Structure 1
Amino acid sequence: MSSSVRQTAPHEVPQGTRLVLYACLPASLGKAADHSVASTRRYVTDAGWETVEMHVDRAAPFESRALCAGWHNALAAVEQGRAAGIVAPLLVMLGHLEEDRTNLAAWQARTGALITTPWAVVDAADSAVLRRAA
């Protein structure tokens, strides 16, 4: 299996799918960054999905997600079966560092979790999308 994260296209996520909304927002922007969370919540509702939990970390954007409590809570929600996957405003919020992306890809391969964003694109060369029923 590849060591890259597989992003599920929004049209491939069935209505009623339970997701954790996760965002990592720059602490320096304060409340000004909250619009990305609000727009992602609306996006989830419009798609007919369900946000079962929301975790927002306020951290430096290029810091490791391993240091973020909300990130660990989001992963646990999927691992414990409360959600089928994670939706984030931007894929980079799930990990900017190579180590974070590698860890996320391994986690996704192990759990079968889906990962999507409002602007998800699936690599046409590899149409296998990992999915976990919630």
Structure 2
Amino acid sequence: MRQTAPHEVPAGTRLVLYACLPASLGEIADHSVASTRRYVAGVGWEAVETYVDRVAPFESRALCEGWHNALAAVEQGRATGIVTPLLVMLGYLEGDRTNLAAWQARTGALITTPWAVVDAAAPTALRRPAA
């Protein structure tokens, strides 16, 4: 995966919002989804669907229904990519990260957070400076 700055994602971009939240935290963890949703609206992107899996964050995404739904939304053309509060929510395990990189290369999908965008075509990592 390669990252580019969020300002390179144009307003109006349709994204799926995906989060993997620890089940043990319950609703306390929901603030990360709400803050990402506010960020998406603030920069003019469109969150067309939201999927949240409540599992241990360090487990594989292979068994996560929301994750598969997020990928399918992109593959079916309902969205250009995925926005998530933290990249680690997309895959902590090396195998998950490898699968995600291959999926991104195959689909050309954007993967972004409020801090960085992952773009298979971009060769360098750029981060938005902290405010």
* Equivalent runs, 1:1-134 vs 2, <5 Å: 5-120=1-116, 126-127=123-124
Distance (Å, rounded) in 1 between the aligned partners of 2:92 and 2:103:
16
Q: 1:86 aligns to what SS in structure 2?
A: strand
* Mapped contact 1:7–1:114 kept (Cα < 8 A): no
Structure 1 vs Structure 2 CA RMSD? 1.8
> Which amino acid is 1:30 matched to?
G
Distance (Å, rounded) in 2 between the aligned partners of 1:8 and 1:39:
21
* Mapped contact 2:20–2:55 kept (Cα < 8 A): yes
The alpha carbon displacement at 1:6 in A equals: 2.4
Assess, with a 3 A threshold, how the Cα gap between structure 1 residues 122 and 52 changes in structure 2: closer, same or farther: closer
Q: What is residue 128 of structure 2 aligned with on the other side?
A: none
TM (normalized to structure 1)?
A: 0.87
Q: Per residue, is there more strand in 1 or in 2?
A: 2
Alignment gaps of 5+ in structure 2: 126-131
* Mapped contact 2:112–2:118 kept (Cα < 8 A): no
Distance (Å, rounded) in 1 between the aligned partners of 2:93 and 2:64:
13
Task: Give every structure 1 segment of 4 or more consecutive aligned residues whose post-TM-superposition deviation is greater than 6 Å.
Answer: none
* Mapped contact 2:40–2:46 kept (Cα < 8 A): yes
* Mapped contact 2:6–2:112 kept (Cα < 8 A): yes
Alignment gaps of 5+ in structure 1: 129-134
User: How many residues are paired up?
Assistant: 123
Distance (Å, rounded) in 2 between the aligned partners of 1:88 and 1:122:
11
Report sequence identity in percent: 85
* Mapped contact 1:6–1:115 kept (Cα < 8 A): no
TM (normalized to structure 2)?
A: 0.89
